[in-house]
């Protein structure tokens, strides 16, 4: 492929749930990478409140509506050699696909760079992707496609899908962002409303009705591929919440902590096989559902572009995914792209992590207190916090403090939970007992509340997926509710529940309790040994340690040599 001399980059537009600063980060990386390659960059974005639209990031910036007409006018004026749409999220991808179908690229003699149009259609079209999985022998959950030219035809197909799949079911519209229009449904009324909404919001008028794999784990792999078919798995990630909660609303851990190596290698190989079969050139996100015993898995979906998870994987591993994806779109190979972070390896090397990364979602419910706080397959989080440490517990505690939200600390509990927590931990509830519980799962005396029977029913309602489920779990563990019981109710991996129990036990120690609350001295691991970085120079330390102020939690001040400051000569 001839290297282009000028490229139009399509941005992600307004900040919306599921598509925010991550794509500004990706677009800025792409602009800088292409300018280093000597390529003239032309940026189209409708959002001026971004870094990528700052003067100096791109050679030409168009603050115009993200429409086919805007692309047509820019191509007419600028005459770029190619269009890069894989770094602007689902908005840019859908716009590029619409422009290609309208013949805009062909009329102006330009082409879509990176992943081919055919690969994007195959990954985003639910039926075409399912046919691809059949050809390469990859499993997927039983599902039925609902689409049609007329309202009667769509209603007939929805009835057939309901009869075949049953309830509960997952509704997945095609070509939508953040699960928009989709969700998990338990009743026929909710099913018909959700299917109707999904068909209306899907750009191609298509939804997939999928059997709900309740209790299965959700695993993601961020993978890269170039035109020579060289593939690598950049990062593996797993959700703490089981399938049913959107990955953007779940606690995400990288790399995977709960999978044995054979299972991890099996899923990694499947992810690489899928990206090869699709023919994606650049970054790609592959999502799997894994059975609780680890014996079976199913492919959920693929994002044939740099996704929201790509920003998390990039920052977690230090691998510049968006930058490398832009260079691959220019025709470069992974083996010849230098890693801009390490400066010593090339992009064909897979990162190896000796630490744990925890991502916590941040929800806007403090600004919208009357909103529905339950979580499902449609994303509601508007931000996230990422923390890095040597263990899951330490990273989780650090992420909780990083939320900077009132009542979000490790020991935080809503006073309204008190009666419910005491009831679940202090008094046995017989199967015949009737307890009234509100929509938030709390025990109440409201006569209009739902009546539930038995301890398990009360506990299940109290731990329904919501923005506060993590703190409710910790509150129950502090009151002695067995972790095995909580695992059976929530479907969360026993390893994660065990780690939370360990943190709770640590919190019972007076010294560690102050550390968890963020007060007093932090718990410190043994100090590390400084390794010489070369031959000693007289008068200078051979230590490669940073100043004590740079790492107070790991380097006790008394054990780190003080750095001498030389006076500045004027």
3-state secondary structure 89-101: HHHHHHHHHHHHH
Give the model's pLDDT for residue 18.
63
The angle at the Cα of 491, spanning 490 to 496, to the nearest 5 degrees, equals 95
Give the model's pLDDT for residue 556.
38
Give the model's pLDDT for residue 528.
35
Give the model's pLDDT for residue 160.
92
Give the model's pLDDT for residue 334.
95
pLDDT (tens digit, 9 = 90+) per residue, 117-168?
A: 999 889 888 888 989 999 999 999 998 989 988 999 999 999 999 999 988 8
CA pair distance 7, 86, nearest whole angstrom:
13
CA pair distance 324, 469, nearest whole angstrom:
37
Helix, strand, coil percent content, the chain, rounded in steps of 5: 35, 20, 45
Tokens 């190596």 sit at which residue?
261
Give the model's pLDDT for residue 511.
66
Give the model's pLDDT for residue 549.
35
The angle at the Cα of 339, spanning 30 to 350, to the nearest 5 degrees, equals 110
pLDDT (tens digit, 9 = 90+) per residue, 79-90?
A: 999 999 988 888
Q: Residues of the chain with pLDDT > 90: what percent? A: 47
Using 50 as the pLDDT threshold, list the residues of the chain that sit under it.
428, 431, 517-570
Q: What is the DSSP letter of 413?
A: -
Give the model's pLDDT for residue 552.
36
Total residue length of the chain: 570
Mean pLDDT, the chain, integer: 83
Give the model's pLDDT for residue 516.
52
pLDDT (tens digit, 9 = 90+) per residue, 412-444?
A: 888 888 888 888 887 545 545 666 666 666 766
Give the model's pLDDT for residue 9.
94
């Amino acid at each position: 492929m001839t290297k282009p001399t000028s490229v139009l980059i399509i941005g992600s537009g307004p900040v919306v749930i599921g598509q925010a600063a991550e794509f500004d980060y990706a677009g800025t990386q792409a602009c800088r990478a292409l300018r280093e390659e000597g390529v003239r960059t032309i940026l189209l974005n409708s959002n001026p409140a971004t870094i990528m639209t700052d003067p100096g990031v791109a050679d030409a910036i168009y603050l115009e509506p993200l429409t086919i007409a805007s692309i047509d006018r820019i191509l007419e004026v600028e005459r770029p050699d190619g269009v890069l749409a894989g770094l602007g999220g689902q908005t840019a991808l859908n716009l590029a696909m619409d422009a290609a179908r309208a013949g805009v690229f062909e009329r102006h003699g330009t082409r879509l760079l990176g992943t081919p149009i055919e690969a994007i259609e195959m990954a985003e079209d639910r039926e075409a992707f399912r046919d691809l999985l059949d050809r390469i022998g990859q499993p997927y959950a039983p599902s039925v496609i609902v689409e049609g030219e007329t309202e009667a035809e769509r209603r007939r197909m929805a009835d057939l899908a309901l009869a075949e799949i049953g309830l509960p079911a997952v509704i997945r519209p095609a070509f939508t962002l953040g699960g928009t229009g989709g969700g998990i449904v338990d009743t026929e009324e909710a099913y018909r409303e959700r299917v109707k909404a999904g068909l209306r919001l899907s750009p191609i008028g298509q939804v997939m009705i999928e059997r709900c794999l309740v209790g299965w784990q959700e695993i993601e792999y961020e993978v890269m591929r170039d035109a020579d078919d060289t593939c690598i798995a950049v990062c593996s990630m797993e959700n703490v919440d089981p399938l049913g909660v959107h990955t953007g609303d779940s606690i995400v851990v990288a790399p995977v902590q709960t999978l044995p190596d054979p299972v991890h290698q099996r899923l990694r190989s499947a992810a690489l096989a899928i990206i090869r079969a699709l023919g994606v050139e650049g970054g790609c996100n592959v999502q799997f559902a894994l059975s609780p015993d680890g014996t079976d898995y199913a492919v959920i979906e693929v994002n044939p572009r740099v996704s929201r998870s790509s920003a998390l994987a990039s920052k977690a591993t230090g691998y510049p995914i968006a930058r490398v994806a832009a260079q691959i779109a220019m025709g470069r190979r992974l083996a010849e792209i230098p890693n801009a972070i390490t400066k010593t390896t090339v992009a064909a090397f897979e990162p190896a992590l000796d630490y744990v990364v925890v991502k916590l979602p941040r929800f806007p419910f403090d600004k919208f207190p009357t909103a529905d706080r339950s979580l499902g397959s449609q994303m509601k989080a508007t931000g996230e916090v990422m923390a890095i440490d040597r263990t899951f517990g330490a990273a989780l505690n650090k992420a909780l403090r990083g939320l900077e939200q009132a009542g979000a600390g490790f020991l935080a509990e809503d006073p309204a939970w008190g009666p419910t927590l005491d009831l679940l931990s202090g008094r046995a509830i017989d199967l015949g007992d009737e307890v009234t519980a509100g929509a938030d799962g709390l025990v109440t005396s409201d006569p209009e509340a739902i009546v539930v029977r038995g301890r398990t029913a009360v506990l299940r309602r109290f731990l329904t997926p919501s923005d506060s489920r993590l703190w409710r779990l910790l509150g129950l563990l502090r009151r002695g509710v067995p972790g095995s019981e909580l695992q059976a109710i929530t479907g969360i991996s026993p390893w994660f529940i065990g780690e939370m129990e360990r943190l709770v036990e640590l919190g019972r120690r007076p010294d560690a309790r102050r550390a968890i609350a963020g007060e007093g001295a932090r718990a410190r691991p043994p100090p590390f040994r400084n390794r010489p970085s070369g031959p000693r120079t007289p008068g200078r330390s051979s230590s490669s340690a940073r100043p004590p102020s740079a790492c107070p939690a790991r380097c006790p001040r008394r054990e780190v040599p003080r750095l001498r400051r030389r006076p500045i000569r004027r």
